Amino acid sequence: MSNTTIGHIRKMKSALNAQGEVSYQLPLGDQLVDMNPYIGKTLTLVHTGNIHCCNCGKKTKKSYSQGHCFVCMKKLASCDMCIMKPETCHYDQGTCREPEWGQANCFVPHYVYLSNTSGLKVGITRHTQLPTRWIDQGATQALAILKVSSRQLSGLVEVELAKMIADKTNWRAMLKGDESPMDLQAKAAELLPEIETRLHELAMEHGEYAIERLDNAPQSISFPVSQYPTKISSHNFDKNPEVSGVLQGIKGQYLIFDTGVINLRKFTSYEIELS
């Protein structure tokens, strides 16, 4: 790779090795840039001012729903509110924006999991997205506790568990360091009996085999960070097109510089010059 690379960025790709260590690649145009080797080195990212929709390719002044133009954001099922709140799925009402997409992505197995992400947290993800989902959220430990038949059902279960534990990541706390280890299996053993009645009701509604209890070992995850920040300040390409500093680590979808942090996923479809 030359000293300077330019292209539209996408969410960083991640891989987990047998030791639980994460490696990252940044899609930049048609290239994949290995990011781990840059840790400890000065890195500069400059937004050229160009944003092109990740779906239709149209130039847009503003990015919606992580890289879409306004028109695509309004028409794509993947940008609907039910993606953020699966329990609000409206497919059965005949109002899904893209029924075929819904069938392929929502009516497939999903996991309900516990993670150690700025504390104990519940989350859900499609069966194909482990451990990617855990890495993207900056979890240092994670455990899939239930496998369910659809995205809506995973959301309904998550809602019950979220009455007792967090369902969102405190990103500032997540970026300040690794959380103290916790026994996720013991946490699951405490929490699941509390929602036993609701699980039974959901199984009656969705089918006897719609909810499967899992007995897995937790996954530990180690991020490539040489130094965590003591104070969090954020870079934002919309306010300042240039981000520069010594790259001290990567966690979740954040680059951690000695000058501040930046959530690259937020700027999907921005054209960036990296040097």
Residue 1's pLDDT band, with cuts at 50, 70 and 90, is very low
Residue 256 CB contacts under 8 Å (≥ 6 apart), including other chains: 175, 225, 227, 228, 229, 247, 248, 249, 250
DSSP 57-126: --B-SS-BTTTB-HHHHHH-GGGSHHHHSGGG--GGGT--S-HHHHHHHTSS-EEEEEEESSSEEEEEEE
Structure tokens at 167: 């369902």
Q: What is the pLDDT of residues 142-197, one digit of tens each?
A: 999 999 999 999 999 999 999 999 999 999 999 999 889 999 999 999 999 999 99
Q: Supply the pTM of this predicted model.
A: 0.95
Q: Where do we find the tokens 């969102």? A: 168
244 bridge partner residues: 44
Helix residue spans in 171-253 (DSSP H): 171-175, 184-191, 196-206
Cα gap 8→246, rounded to integer Å: 22
Q: What is the mean pLDDT of the chain?
A: 96
Residue 99's pLDDT band, with cuts at 50, 70 and 90, is very high
Structure tokens at 246: 């010594």
Q: What is the pLDDT of residues 17-61, one digit of tens each?
A: 999 999 999 999 999 999 999 999 999 999 999 999 999 999 999
**Domain ranges within the chain, ordered by starting residue:** 37-53+223-274, 108-220
Helix residue spans in 138-241 (DSSP H): 151-161, 171-175, 184-191, 196-206
Distances (CA, A) of 109 to 104, 145, 192: 11, 13, 19
- 3 state DSSP class of 258: coil
Say yes or no to pLDDT of 212 above 90.
yes
Say yes or no to pLDDT of 262 above 60.
yes
25 bridge partner residues: 13, 34
pLDDT of residue 179: 84
Cβ burial of 105 (10 Å; 0-12, 13-18, 19+) is middle
